[in-house]
Amino acid sequence: MKPAWLPFPQSATSAEFKLRLHLSRAAIFLCLFSAGYMIGYLSSVPQFNLQNQFHPNCTAITVANSDTNPLPIKEHELQTGPPPHDLLQFKKRCGKPIPKSEILNTLIANMFEGIEPYEGFPSAEVESLIHKPADHPRGWGSTGAVFRDLIESVRPGVIIELGSFLGASALHMAGVTHNLSLSSTLILSVDDFRGWPNFRLRFRRDVPQNRHADALLLQQFMANVKAAGESQRIIPVPFSTGSALIALCEWGIYGDLIEVDAGHDFHSAWADINRAYAILRPGGVLFGHDYFTVADNRGVRRAVTLFAKVKGLTVRPHGQHWVLSPKPRE
């Protein structure tokens, strides 16, 4: 017997009965549809045959077949073309070469807004911040025999150096050109003049103290050059090697002798070598420093060797430097 307080159940109306019937049919339809879809999907999955898989470490593999003898797959049949990357996609053709007499004005107009960089340099403020110009600025391999050998053989009208620091190699090359009666040779020194993190810990005596996050290496470089009386021939190009080389390429400024001595990791050296080669005159020579270092085939040496192989050139070690065979004449 039910408690008196429970209500008596109400009989279902005709509308409620029809609604329940439709919902039941819909649920049954969805279940059947899902089951059919799953069966169809599973039946379409291909079965793996391990004998048909590619084995990258094998020079020859076979595909077994119950009706035929094993068919050998030779190594050359497994080879494909180079991967779709842009490792070699550097600009190879640059602007029309401009006369040497127009190079200096072109640089001043495009880089310094028409103002000669050494004009009025140094100001009293700058002079108070930098070191006294050094007769022999700090450098690495900046006076090696390779400079005289190449300048004497190439007799360049334009020299481009990538990586200048305080100007040691630029000033040495200027002195060599004087001795070889090449006093009109123009030297373009490409460097962002920012140094690298913690470089002052090693060269504190050689570089000025930074001022408002300015490394002041450009000012010290210019002071060293001007004190040596070479401000008309050694021109700073104060930008990254990548942006500077792209600009020189567009402006049609080429070098007869180009030294690569900026970034020492593989990727930096690889990019610099490729872009520098684009603005190297036919018959000119590309060379650089740090061929023999602890990095070996992980740094500059790897980039140089790979580039020579791609271009069909030869590499000649010269002390700590590397020298590529002259650029073929077209």
> What is the residue-wise DSSP string for 19-71?
HHHHHHHHHHHHHHHHHHHHHHHHHHSPPP-GGGS--TT-S-EEE--SSSPPE
Dihedral sign for Cα 97, 102, 107, 113, please: negative
Helix (H) or strand (E) segment spanning residue 5: none
DSSP 76-106: HHH-----S--TT------PPPPPHHHHHHH
pLDDT of residue 225: 95
| SS3 label, residue 286 | strand
pLDDT of residue 322: 94
CATH code of the domain in which 182 resides: 3.40.50.150
Bridge partners of residue 161, in order along the sequence: 189, 259
235 vs 188: CA distance, rounded Å: 5
318 vs 120: CA distance, rounded Å: 40
Which residues does 238 contact at the CB level (< 8 Å), separation at least 6?
A: 111, 191, 192, 193, 218
Could you tell me if residue 206 is inside a domain? yes
Could you tell me if residue 240 is inside a domain? yes
Are the C-beta atoms of 325 and 283 separated by less than 8 Å? no
Look at phi and psi of residue 212 and say left if phi exceeds 0, alpha if psi is from -120 to 50, else beta. left
Measured in degrees and rounded to the nearest 5, phi and psi for residue 257 equal -140, 125
- Residues of the chain short of pLDDT 50, as ranges, are 1-12, 44-80, 83-84
How many domains does the structure of the chain reveal? 1
Could you tell me if residue 21 is inside a domain? no
Are the C-beta atoms of 137 and 129 separated by less than 8 Å? no
Which residues does 270 contact at the CB level (< 8 Å), separation at least 6?
A: 303, 306, 307
The tokens for 171 are: 């000033």
Could you tell me if residue 4 is inside a domain? no
Bridge partners of residue 188, in order along the sequence: 160, 235
16 vs 29: CA distance, rounded Å: 20
10 Å Cβ neighbour count for 325? 14
Nearest to 154 by CA among 281, 245, 273: 281
Could you tell me if residue 56 is inside a domain? no
Could you tell me if residue 15 is inside a domain? no
Domain hosting 257: range is 100-130+137-324
149 vs 57: CA distance, rounded Å: 48
Measured in degrees and rounded to the nearest 5, phi and psi for residue 259 equal -105, 130
pLDDT of residue 16: 67
The tokens for 328 are: 């073929």
pLDDT of residue 86: 61
Could you tell me if residue 204 is inside a domain? yes
Q: Is the pTM of this model over 0.75?
A: no
Which residues does 42 contact at the CB level (< 8 Å), separation at least 6?
A: none
pLDDT of residue 202: 73
Measured in degrees and rounded to the nearest 5, phi and psi for residue 158 equal -135, 125
DSSP 59: S
Could you tell me if residue 3 is inside a domain? no
Nearest to 258 by CA among 216, 286, 219: 286
